[in-house]
Amino acid sequence: MHLQSSNLICWLSITSIRGAAGITFENVEHTFDTLQTWYNSSTGLWMPSTGWWNSANCLTMIANLAAIDDKIKDRTKDLWQEVFNNAAEYNKQMTQAHGAFWRRKLPLELEYRDATDEDTANVGFLNGYYDDEGWWALAWIAVYDLTLDQKYLDKAVQVFDDMHNAWNTTPVGGVWWDRSNTYVNAISNELHFSVAAHLANRRPDQKPYYVDVALNSWLWIYGSGLINAQSNIEDGLWAKDETGLNLPKVWSYNQGVILTALTELDQALQQPLYTAMAKLIADAALANFTSMLDTHDPDYIIHESCEPTCDDTSSLFKGIFVRSLARLHAVAPEDRYGIVLMKNAESLWRNVDQWNRLGSVWNNTTVGAGASAQCAGMDLFVGALGTLGEWEGDGVYEDGKAHSQ
């Protein structure tokens, strides 16, 4: 085919825009526009593209983005209240529709009861899963950090109280995954630890209480057997019918939540005791999810075992991991973490499609696009921008920053 030279120039310049992999606030603002096409203001959730707990993670990511990008902060000033009201209302309706699904454990009793009107009236961000509750608690803490509006912190405290009611009620200690007591897993316990550690730094009047809870939660995780010989955190520990224990065992988000929890605990204790443990877990995760240690052909791209067919649950996991890796890098930097953030962000941006959708495989054309993969990818950009600053074109990592070439 014969190309007119003017067409050729035009084609080349379009290609070079798409081929430029630098990360700027403007790029991320475009991905935010795309994310909001999946947002449903009547529920305050990114549904039906993704689900309940996933939406909590999208909210966390957006609050973290708004904290470093004034344009997004301005655009989201009404979002927090809308989610606060409408997502709670949605949850109330769901709880009423599935009354038996809400079963509050009576103190010191092993019996369960169905939801009463009183339960559903005050359901807020509580449901049958302690991990879902933990994600919402962290989301409201992120919104509190941004807005300093006390009601968001109060909400996180209320949610945490419910999670903490499940503490030490399982056959093996820790908290349950679910209110119907079928599984004891890593994520619910890591979230219990993380929310307690966050609250220790945000409620000075209650600090000794939250430090004590966080420390006990960490000591339980450390001694539970969830951390394997490779320093990877496995998914679960105890299951009523053992099914959960046969699932693929090492997911990236389980290696992520703990990193932030450990750095928050150090901040509360004013001593860098646990950050070293966070680095051990982060390095073990990077050894597992990337081939960066390959001496012949190191590759820094993070892969989840479900790729390329991750669903809208598992396509969020890597975002949670890199959000936490970026947090670790912010408080205790290591060049290898900066390089991982830079290389993954560039690779993902190189693969963005014409609608600014992000895929769930960070080195492939957009596969599995939707609100989950979008939020996960944006977590990567937010983590990279927050720690490395903006850069254009293929970057060079130097002096702890990504520089344009």
Ligand X SMILES: *[C@@H]1O[C@H](CO)[C@@H](O)[C@H](O)[C@H]1NC(C)=O
Binding residues for ligand X (CB under 6 A): 40, 42-43, 48, 228, 230, 232, 249-250, 288, 291, 299, 301, 303, 307-308, 361, 363-365, 367
The smaller minimum CB distance to ligand X, of residues 134 and 359, is found at 359
What DSSP assignment string belongs to 231-285? SPBPSEEEESSSGGGGS----HHHHHHHHHHHHHHHHHHTS-SSHHHHHHHHHHH
Question: Nearest distance from residue 178's CB to ligand X, in Å?
Answer: 24
The smaller minimum CB distance to ligand X, of residues 67 and 301, is found at 301
Burial of 391 (0-12, 13-18, 19+ CB in 10 A): buried
Question: Nearest distance from residue 32's CB to ligand X, in Å?
Answer: 18
Residues 165/194, Cβ–Cβ less than 8 Å: no
* Helix axes of 371-388 and 335-350: crossing angle, nearest 10 degrees: 130
Question: Nearest distance from residue 34's CB to ligand X, in Å?
Answer: 15
Question: Nearest distance from residue 307's CB to ligand X, in Å?
Answer: 5
Question: Nearest distance from residue 25's CB to ligand X, in Å?
Answer: 27
The smaller minimum CB distance to ligand X, of residues 36 and 363, is found at 363
Question: Nearest distance from residue 212's CB to ligand X, in Å?
Answer: 31
Question: Cα separation of 52 and 57, whole Å?
Answer: 9
Sign of CA dihedral 138, 216, 263, 299: negative
The smaller minimum CB distance to ligand X, of residues 40 and 120, is found at 40
Q: Given its phi and psi angles, is residue 392 left (phi above 0), alpha (psi -120 to 50 degrees) or beta? A: beta
Give residue number: closest CB to ligand X: 308
Q: What angle do CA 224, 227, 231 make, to 5 degrees?
A: 155
User: Coil, strand or helix: which one is 396?
Assistant: strand
Number of other residues whose CB lies within 10 A of the CB of residue 66: 24
Phi, psi of 176 (to 5 degrees): -75, 160
The smaller minimum CB distance to ligand X, of residues 21 and 146, is found at 21
The smaller minimum CB distance to ligand X, of residues 36 and 288, is found at 288
The smaller minimum CB distance to ligand X, of residues 180 and 288, is found at 288
Question: Nearest distance from residue 29's CB to ligand X, in Å?
Answer: 22
Chain-centre distance of CA 85, in angstroms?
A: 22
Question: Nearest distance from residue 87's CB to ligand X, in Å?
Answer: 11
Number of H helices, E strands in the chain: 15, 4
Spatial CB neighbours of 113, under 8 Å, sequence gap ≥ 6: 103, 104, 106
The smaller minimum CB distance to ligand X, of residues 79 and 332, is found at 79
The smaller minimum CB distance to ligand X, of residues 47 and 138, is found at 47
Question: Nearest distance from residue 360's CB to ligand X, in Å?
Answer: 9
User: Coil, strand or helix: which one is 405?
Assistant: coil
Question: Cα separation of 76 and 78, whole Å?
Answer: 5
